[in-house]
Chain A
C-alpha cells in the first residue's frame, strides 16, 4: 500500500525540483544528439550521408526500444558531450544487440579518451550479456593530441572484438566511411563486414603515408575502397550500394545468425498499480531526509507486488522479491540511509538466497554508508560490512544498480557501486556519489587542519578555514553530481525516474541473453 501523499506536503516541491533536473538532463543530452553542431551536420548530410542516430534508427526493428548508453560521456571534459560515439542496446531482427556508431560530425568521429571508455564499456556489456555487437563505422581514427590516453589502452577494442567472437558472440561491422590505420582492425576483427561502395575507406596507411613509406603512388580506392575489399582483398563480405543498402544487409546478417537467447524467458507481466509519474516526487532535494523506497518499488515492479524478506530485522535496508516485466528479481533498497550490522547481515543473507534461486538482484541506492561510532565499531560493523561486500562481490547472479539518492562511503560498495561490476548501473538526476557528503568532507578536512595547526602550536586561521570549507564543499558537491560521474563513465547513464521500470526491464531482458551463471559453492549462511 502506497502512503505517498501527492497533493500536499513536500511532494509538489520535490516533483518541481526533479522536473527542473530533468530539464537540465534533456539539455545535456540534446548536446550529444546535436553531434558536431549544425555546420558539420549540414556538411555530412550534403554528402548524402546519414547521421549516426539515423543509421541506428534504420537498423533497429520499427517501434522497438533503444537504450542509449553513456549519453553524457565526456561531460565536464574538454571533449563534446557524448564523446563522438553513440552506443546502446537495440533490437535488430528480433535480436537484442549492442550497437556502437561513430558520430562523424564530431571531429570526424575521432576517438578521444572518453570515446574509448564508452566503446570499451559497450563491448563489456556485449560480452557479459552475450549480445551480438554491431559497429557502424565511420571514424577518422584517434584524436592525436590525446593519443597517450588512447593508443595503449585502445588496443583492447580489437582484442574485445575477437574475444567476443571466440565466446560465440557475433560481431558485425558496417563501414560507412573512414576506418583507417588502427581503425582498420574494427572490420578486420569483425565476423561480418559490409562496406558501402565509394564511401568506405579501410586501409592501414593512406596515400600520403604510403608515399612517405615506400614512394608508391596510390589512391584511396585502390588502397582501401569498398570495391577493392569486396573483389580483391576479401576484407569486405558484402558490397553495399549505399548506406541504406548496408543497413539492409546488416539486418539480413543478424537475421541469419539464428540467435537464441540462453537465459530465461519473461513470464507474464503486469503494470504497477501506482502511477510511475509519481516517482518524480519521492526523493527529497535534501538527501539528509530519508524516503521510503517501497514507494519506488510499488511504482516499478509488476502489479506493485513486493514480498518483503526479514521485514522486522534491519529495517534500514528493505529486501524482498518481486517481478519486473515478467522477470523474477530480488531487491535491496536503502530505507534510512545508514547501514548497521543488522542491515549488512540481512543483505549478505538475502544475496546468498538470490544466488541459490538464481534470481537477479536490483540495488536501489540511497545510502550514507556504514554506521560509525564506538558502539558500532565494537559491535563489528567492519566485519558485518565485509560480509555484505563479500556477498555482493562474489554473487554470480546479474546485478542491476540504480542510484536514486545518496551513495556515500562504503555504502556505495556494499550496494553494488560501479567497482562491484553490476551488469548495468543507472543514476537518477537526484543522485550523489562521493566518499562522504560535501559538508562532512569539508568538516573532516577542517578538523584535521585544526588539529595539525594545534600540534604545530599555530593559531588556526578561521577565515581561511571557512573559505577552504566553502571551496571544498562546492568542489565535492560538483564532483558528486550525476552528470559529472556519468561523464566519467561511472554509470551507464542518467535516467528519468519514470523510465526506471522500462530501463530495468530492458536490462533484465539483455541479461537473460546470457545463460544463468553457476551458483557459488556454499550453502546459505544464516545471519
Chain B
C-alpha cells in the first residue's frame, strides 16, 4: 500500500498526480527548484522538498537529490510524471534500490525502449512494423551512407522526446550540420548525444495507442490518440478517437501495441507511437510513462489512468477488459510562445489565467471541459522549463461537438501575460480541414493559420482607449468631476496608438475619439455608441448590437477580451523618448539567453543566410542569421555570454552595390 507519494516533477503533471492521490487518501510530496519556489504544485502538496538550483540538471534531473527528497519527505513511492526522469532507467533503479515503490515499468523495460534505436529493432523482431534507420557514428562529420537515403530525412535523438534533438534534413549538404546540432541539443536535454536518421514520412498521421498492463498478465489497449498537429515536432492538439482510423486499423494498431508491450513484459501505463500514412503503419517509439495527452483517453474511457498506475504499482490486477469508450475528446496545449515568431518561447508574469466553464480540473469529464494547469494568476513563466501553461480538454458527444466546446472555451479564456498560441489553437479547431478530419503532421505548415488578430481588433482598441480614458479620469487628482477630455473650443480628438500583437508581430492601431455631450465621436466608427465605460469594462453598441469589452492592464500591456476575441495591445507613448537609432544591419538577440557559438569573426565577409551567432535559450538553439550579405562590422558576442532580449549581437555592414 502506498501511503505517501513523491512526484518527481513540476507543473500541471505534478498537480494532476496529486489530485488522484488526494482522492485515494495518499499523502503527497512535491519537489521544487528555486525557480518554482511558491509554484502551485509545491504549494498544494502536503509536503514539499526544495531542490536547490534552477537548472533542470541540478534539480528535476538530479536522481540523487530526488531520491534524497523522497527519503526526507517520508515518501514510500515515487511517480515520475512525464519528461525529466520519467524514462530514465537509472532513476527507476535508484528509486527501487532506496526501497520505494516505483510507479512505472520495470527499469529493464524503460532501458529497452529508452534507446529508440534499440526499441526499433526489438519491435521489428516482435513483428511490429517499423521504418528503416541508420545509426550515426559518434564522431562528428562521419555521415557516410546517408547520401544514399531518400530525402527528406529526420534526425532524431535516440534518447529523445518532446521534439528535442529532432531535425528535418532536405538536402545532403545540411545533414552533417544538423546531426551536430541535434547531437548537442540531445546532449544538453537528455545527457545522451546519440542520434539516428530515418526517412521522414511527410503528411502522415501521428497515432498512438494507450496501453495499460498489470503484473498479472492483463494488457489493455485503450484505443488510439491522434497527435498529428505538431509544431517543431511537438504535439499541440491531441484527440481520441482519431478521425483517420477505421475500426479495422484500430484493431491492427491495438493488436500491435499489445504485442509490443508483451514483447518486453511491460507493466504499467505506456504508449506505443506509430506514424500512419495511407496503408503504411510504422512504429515510432514506445513511451514508458504517462503521456501529456492522457486526459483525452481518460475522458473517452472514463478512467483515471493515474489511479490505475498506482493500483498496478501496488500489485492489484486490472479488470479483464477496459471500459467501453464513449464520445470524443480533444486536448490542446496552451503554450507561452509566439507562433508568429517561429514559436519563440515567451517568459514573464502570467497576470491572469481564467478559462471559463471548466467542469473539472485534473479529472475525467463527460460532455464538458477539463483543465489541467500548472499555473495560476500571477505565476511567473520562467526560462528554465517547458513553457506549457495548461492543457485544455473538451469532451463531447462527437468530434464536432468537442471541437466547438474547446474552441469557444479557448477563445473566451482570459490569458494576460506572455504571448501564447491561443489564437492559433482556436484557428486550428475552427479550420475546415481540421473539422473535416484532414489532420497530419504537416498541418500547421500547410495551413499556416492566420494567428494575427482579426480585422475587428479596431473596436477592441477603441474599447481599450475608452477604458483608459475612464481610468485617467478616475485617477485625476484635480478637476475630477469634469467631463472626459472636455474642450470649449474643440480642435482635435484624443489620440491613442497601440501596438497590436496577437501573433504577427507589430501592427500599429491608432484610435481617435472625443466624448461630447452628444456621446462618442470616434474616427472610423461613425455609428458606434458608448453605452458605458469604466476602467475595467466598456460597452459599445455598433449597428444596434451591444458588446461588452473587458479591459485589463498589466505591466504596460492592455488586454481586451470580448466576444470579438482577445486582443493584446501595447499603448505607445505619446511623447516617446528619443532613442539612439540602431545601426542598420544590427542583429538582435530575439530573447534572453546565452551565446552558444559565434560563427563569424569581426571584419569577415558573410553571405545572406549565413549563421552568425547561435544563442541558447529555453533549452533551444536559436540561430541568428545574416539577412543580407556584407561584412561583420561589429561583434558583441562571445560564447557563454548572457544576453538580454534586444541586445545587439553583431552588426553586418551591407555590401555596397
Contact = CB atoms under 8 A, between A and B. Distances in A.
Given A62-B472, A244-B576, A325-B481, 19 more contacts: A61-B472, A61-B476, A62-B469, A63-B469, A63-B472, A63-B473, A63-B484, A64-B472, A64-B485, A65-B483, A65-B486, A65-B487, A66-B486, A67-B488, A71-B488, A248-B577, A266-B481, A502-B482, A502-B486
Interface residues of B, number: 29
A509 interface: yes
A87 B197 CA distance: 76
Give the top 9 A-B pairs by smallest Cβ distance, nearest first. A248-B575, A241-B578, A65-B486, A63-B472, A68-B489, A63-B469, A53-B491, A269-B481, A65-B482
A57 B489 CA distance: 12
Interface string B489-501: 1011011100000
A509 B486 CA distance: 15
A94 interface: yes
B492 A94 contact: no
A499 interface: yes
Interface in B544-601: 574-578
A495 B492 contact: no
A94 B478 contact: yes
A502 B483 contact: yes
Contacts of A63: 468-469, 472-473, 484-485, 494
Interface string B528-553: 00000000000000000000000000
B478 A496 contact: no
A295 interface: no
A29 B489 contact: yes
Contacts of A71: 488-489
B578 A242 contact: yes
B656 interface: no
Given A33-B491, A248-B577, A64 B479 contact: yes
B480 interface: yes
A96 B491 contact: no
| Interface residues of chain B: helix, strand, loop or mixed (majority) | loop
B479 A509 contact: yes
B479 A505 contact: yes
Contacts of B489: 29, 32-33, 68, 71
Contacts of A261: 478
17 contacts: A33-B491, A54-B492, A57-B491, A58-B574, A62-B496, A62-B574, A65-B479, A65-B485, A67-B488, A94-B478, A244-B576, A245-B575, A245-B578, A248-B575, A269-B480, A498-B517, A503-B488
A48 B2 CA distance: 76
Contacts of A495: 488
Contacts of B482: 64-65, 325, 502, 505-506
Interface of B: 468-469, 472-473, 476-489, 491-492, 494-496, 517, 574-578
Nearest to A197: B578
Contacts of A134: none
B472 to A, nearest CB: 4
Contacts, number: 97
A58 B575 contact: yes
A326 interface: yes
A247 interface: yes
A58 B494 CA distance: 9
Given A248-B575, A509-B479, A62 B494 contact: yes
A66 B485 CA distance: 8
Contacts of B479: 64-65, 91, 96, 505-506, 509
Contacts of A58: 574-575
Nearest to A61: B472
Contacts of A54: 492
A299 interface: no
A469 interface: no
Nearest to A244: B575
A520 B162 CA distance: 85
Contact of B487 (A68, A242, A245, A277): A68
Contact of A266 (B480, B483, B495, B575): B480
A224 to B, nearest CB: 22
Contacts of B575: 58, 244-245, 247-248, 251
Contacts of A269: 480-481
Given A57-B492, A62-B494, A68-B488, A505 B472 contact: no
B519 to A, nearest CB: 13
A244 to B, nearest CB: 5
B578 to A, nearest CB: 4
Contacts of A251: 575
B485 A91 contact: no
A411 interface: no
A487 interface: no
A429 interface: no
A499 B472 CA distance: 21
Given A241-B578, A506-B479, A493 B472 contact: no
Interface centre among A57, A62, A67, A261 (most CB of B within 10 A): A62
A498 B578 CA distance: 42
Interface in A235-257: 241-242, 244-245, 247-248, 251
Nearest to B475: A94
Nearest to A68: B489
A166 to B, nearest CB: 24
B490 to A, nearest CB: 8
Contact of B478 (A67, A91, A503): A91
B483 to A, nearest CB: 6
A96 B575 CA distance: 20
A94 B481 CA distance: 14
Contacts of A66: 486-488
Given A53-B492, A58-B575, A245-B578, A509 B487 contact: no
Interface string A413-432: 00000000000000000000
A50 to B, nearest CB: 11
Contacts of A64: 472, 476, 479, 482, 485
Contacts of B481: 266, 269, 325-326, 505
Nearest to B466: A63
A126 B486 CA distance: 21
A266 B472 CA distance: 18
A326 B473 CA distance: 16
A493 B489 CA distance: 10
Interface in A491-522: 493, 495-496, 498-499, 502-503, 505-506, 509
Given A325-B482, A509-B479, A245 B577 contact: yes
Interface in A66-113: 66-68, 71, 91, 94-96
A326 to B, nearest CB: 7
A94 B476 contact: yes
A326 B480 CA distance: 10
A511 to B, nearest CB: 12
A111 to B, nearest CB: 20
B328 to A, nearest CB: 50
A54 B512 CA distance: 13
B300 to A, nearest CB: 53
Nearest to A494: B488
Contacts of A61: 472, 476
Contacts of A29: 489
Given A245-B577, A245-B578, A247-B575, A62 B468 contact: yes
A94 B469 contact: no
Contacts of B488: 66-68, 71, 493, 495-496, 499, 503
A509 B468 CA distance: 23
Nearest to B489: A68
A261 B477 CA distance: 11
Nearest to A495: B488
B511 to A, nearest CB: 12
A248 B484 CA distance: 22
Contacts of B494: 57, 62-63
Nearest to B577: A248
A522 B592 CA distance: 74
Interface string A186-217: 00000000000000000000000000000000
